Amino acid sequence: MSEWDSDKQPGWGDEPAQPEEKGQGASSGKKGWFGKKQPAMPPESGRDWRLIEKLVMSLQAEQRRSRRWGIFFKFLTFGYLFVLLFLIRSPIGDGMAGATGAHTALVEVNGTIAADELASADNLVGALRSAFEAENSRAVVLRINSPGGSPVQSGYVYDEIKRLREEYPDKKLYAVISDIGASGAYYIAAAADEIYANRASLVGSIGVVAGGFGFTGLMEKLGVDRRLYTAGENKAFLDPFSPEREGEVAFWQSVLENTHKQFVEAVKAGRGDRLAENEELFSGLVWSGEQALELGLIDGLGSTSWVARQLVGEEKLVDYSRNRSPFQELVDQLGVAVGEGVASRMLESRLEIR
């Protein structure tokens, strides 16, 4: 049996081989290159292997940690998506909570009145119906803080208020203007039994406005040609990239005047002989609450809580307003629609009551 087959196993970091006795050199054919003993690993090599072993173990531990964190973040992502889907599917809430016992119903009109806004006719009409239909509501307060908006949406709400007042003659509807109740917002308020505001509130602006931009001068400077193809002579009506035509402007003015007439008639029908005789009443001007009281645009100065306490006799307010879903609120806070709003303002001519 050769010395390589010896039973003795070499250990890590064995002592280095001792020098051979005289006469037993490395050239001996029987003893091989390392003499009688098996080749021993120097101490430096043993330390290297231990370092490699530690490195491998640390890599394995790091992989385990990575897997655990990966699982954690996957669960977190699934949870986030689940919550997001829930928020998307959650409908617009009616805002009514704890409507037990006698109370004063509250409906908010906040922001621009438009079909795609919170103060749309669908939301306001639905909230008003719920408020009037509630058995324990003694009266309805329409709290307004809006500069106006679409005459169509305002007209829908105005007509529904008139209908609800006829259907529920025992329930009064009070409009309370906070910061501003102008144009389309005042259109809606005119349908109420009574209107109240703060002395510094902005009230009125009974008029109609439509605006846009003309880019023809800029296009000439840039050397841009307008190429527009239509079927129907008025299909490109008031195109902002084409020169104005007197006939189109005159026709559009007649549309504005007709809409203004509808607005004036609605205010006169709602306010009746409470309106003062003043030539500028329907000129589109806006007044403070004190001035509006003198002109008969409002019936008094007071807040929502004052109306509920002093006029209705039920200080408890229950909000029937329709609110946005949490997901919609998040999107609005992130400002996703800012660019779209700016572009639509620049490129579209919008009819609004102001």
Q: What is the pLDDT of residue 71?
A: 83
Contact (Cβ atoms closer than 8 angstroms) between residue 112 and residue 149: yes
- Indicate whether 188 and 71 sit together in one domain: no
Q: What is the pLDDT of residue 323?
A: 79
- Indicate whether 107 and 72 sit together in one domain: no
**Residue 109: domain span:** 103-212+219-225+233-328
- Indicate whether 270 and 185 sit together in one domain: yes
| Residue 88 maps to a domain | no
Q: How many domains does the chain have?
A: 2
| Residue 3 maps to a domain | no
CATH number, domain at 317?
3.90.226.10
- Indicate whether 62 and 204 sit together in one domain: no
Q: What is the pLDDT of residue 241?
A: 87
37: left (phi over 0), alpha (psi -120 to 50) or beta: beta
- Indicate whether 62 and 183 sit together in one domain: no
Catalytic residue ranges: 183, 235
Contact (Cβ atoms closer than 8 angstroms) between residue 286 and residue 182: yes
- Indicate whether 268 and 141 sit together in one domain: yes
- Indicate whether 69 and 204 sit together in one domain: no
| Residue 157 maps to a domain | yes
pTM, entire model: 0.66
**10-residue mean pLDDT series, the chain (354 residues):** 46 47 44 51 67 80 81 77 64 49 95 94 96 95 96 96 96 97 96 97 93 86 87 86 88 93 95 93 95 97 96 94 66 53 50 56
| Residue 138 maps to a domain | yes
| Residue 140 maps to a domain | yes
Residue 266 and residue 195: Cα distance in Å, rounded?
Answer: 15
- Indicate whether 51 and 128 sit together in one domain: no
Q: What is the pLDDT of residue 328?
A: 56
Contact (Cβ atoms closer than 8 angstroms) between residue 103 and residue 137: yes
CA dihedral of residues 191, 102, 127, 304 (deg, nearest 10) = 60
- Indicate whether 170 and 121 sit together in one domain: yes
Q: What is the pLDDT of residue 232?
A: 87
- Indicate whether 284 and 143 sit together in one domain: yes
- Indicate whether 324 and 207 sit together in one domain: yes
| β-sheet bridge partners, residue 197 | 177, 301
- Indicate whether 283 and 149 sit together in one domain: yes
| Residue 32 maps to a domain | no
| Residue 117 maps to a domain | yes
Q: Indicate the SS3 state at residue 351.
A: strand
| Residue 10 maps to a domain | no
